[in-house]
């Protein structure tokens, strides 16, 4: 299961070693993550897929520095993650926009927090807004936008300070199926243009296979990685790729892995 370490492209960006997370009291602990091991290479798009309660969000929160682990270690560029870091961008399931800030203001939130200079990064914000198709909306307010548009603003906000790593926690889970497919296509396009390292979390097997270079399959109770598979589908992938037998085979393999471990979706 550690075949992932023989990757070629880029260097190792994330290394997770025997990561364990327990909640609850020492007397009756709930094991959310058990001995998680994996790596993510520079510029790679890795998707973690698993049913609700398998600990995938906990994993992301630990990598974002929002939650301390119980045991083991997570490294980013060789340094252990011990708290929130400025070289990570996070996209949550909800857009989490501030209604008192305009679209541009929301996109520039990390710039304000990290005092990077609004003037300097304003042009970059406009460029990113254009990249996600929100040109002309920069002075609108979040409540004037659709759910998909709000999540695009959240994506721009996560990219504005040029983080080395993008963590995405079921970012399109709250969107309707058609918007979701569209957002997946756009994410692929943006990723191919910018080549960020992305760790993407989802409970949709189709979404995982469509997006990923590699898929980590997680199963619950205790949360652990049941399978890691490389997705060899040519990019850019159109939506029609979902109808190919190769795609079907990947989906089937993941589903079998989940079922075998009792983690049925």
Partner 1 sequence: MNTIGNFLLRLLFIVLLLAVWEAAVRLLEIPAFLLPAPSAVGMALYRGIVSGLYQEHIGVTLSETAMGFVVGCVGGLLLGTCVALSRRFDYFIYPIIVMFQAMPKVALAPLIIVWFGLGITSKVVNAALVCFFPLMINTIVGLRSADEDRISLMRSLAASPLQIFAMLRVPNALPYIFAGLEIAMIFALIGAIVGEFVGAQAGLGMLIQSMNFTMDVAGQFSILLILSVIGLLLNMSVTLVRKRVLFWDPASRQAGIKPDRL
What are the E-state strand segments in 129-206? Answer: 165-169, 197-202
Shortest gap between Cβ of 64 and partner 1 (angstroms)?
5
Of the residues 71, 82, 114, 244, which one makes contact with partner 1 according to CB under 8 A:
114
Strands 45-49 and 88-91: unpaired
Nearer to partner 1, 51 or 65 (CB): 65
Interface with partner 1 (CB under 8 A), residue total: 23
If one asks whether residue 98 binds partner 1 (CB under 8 A), the answer comes out as yes
Q: Which of residues 168-227 bind partner 1 (CB under 8 A)?
A: none
- Could you write out the DSSP letters of every residue in 12-52? EEEEEEEEEEEEE-SSSEEEEEEEEEEEEETT-EEEEE--T
Look-up of token digits 């999540």: 151
Of the residues 15, 20, 51, 109, which one makes contact with partner 1 according to CB under 8 A:
109
Site stretch for partner 1 (CB under 8 A), options 83-91, 229-237, 242-250, 253-261: 83-91
Of the residues 22, 77, 85, 189, which one makes contact with partner 1 according to CB under 8 A:
85
Tokens, residue 48:
């973690």
Distance CA 27, CA 29 (A): 6
Site stretch for partner 1 (CB under 8 A), options 106-114, 206-214, 221-229, 235-243: 106-114
Roughly what angle, to the nearest 10 degrees, separates helices 177-194 and 147-159?
20
Among 204, 152, 200, 171, which Cα is nearest to 94's?
171
Binding site for partner 1 (CB under 8 A): 61, 64-66, 83-86, 88, 90, 92, 94, 96, 98-100, 109-110, 112-114, 141, 143
């Amino acid at each position: 299961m550690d075949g992932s370490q023989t990757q070629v492209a880029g260097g190792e960006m994330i290394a997770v070693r025997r990561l364990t997370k327990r909640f609850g009291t020492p007397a009756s602990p709930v094991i959310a993550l058990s001995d998680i091991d994996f790596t993510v290479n520079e510029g790679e798009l890795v998707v973690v897929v698993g049913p609700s309660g398998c600990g995938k969000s906990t994993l992301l929160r630990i990598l974002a520095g929002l939650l301390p682990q119980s045991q083991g270690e997570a490294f980013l560029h060789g340094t252990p993650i011990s708290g929130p870091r400025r070289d990570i961008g996070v996209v949550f399931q909800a857009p989490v926009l501030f209604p008192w800030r305009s679209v541009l203001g929301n996109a520039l939130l990390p710039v304000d927090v990290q005092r990077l200079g609004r003037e300097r990064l304003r042009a970059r914000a406009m460029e990113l807004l254009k990249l996600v198709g929100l040109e002309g909306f920069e002075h609108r307010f979040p409540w004037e936008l659709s759910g998909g548009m709000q999540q695009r603003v959240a994506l721009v906000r996560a990219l504005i300070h040029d983080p080395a790593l993008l963590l995405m926690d079921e970012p399109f889970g709250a969107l309707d199926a058609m918007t979701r497919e569209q957002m997946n296509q756009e994410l692929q396009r943006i990723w191919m243009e910018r080549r960020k390292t992305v760790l993407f979390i989802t409970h949709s097997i189709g979404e995982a296979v469509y997006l990923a270079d590699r898929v980590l399959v997680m199963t619950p109770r205790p949360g652990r990685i049941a399978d890691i598979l490389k997705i060899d589908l040519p990019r850019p992938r159109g939506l029609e790729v979902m109808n190919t037998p190769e795609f079907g085979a990947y989906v089937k393999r993941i589903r079998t892995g989940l079922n075998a471990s009792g983690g049925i979706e």
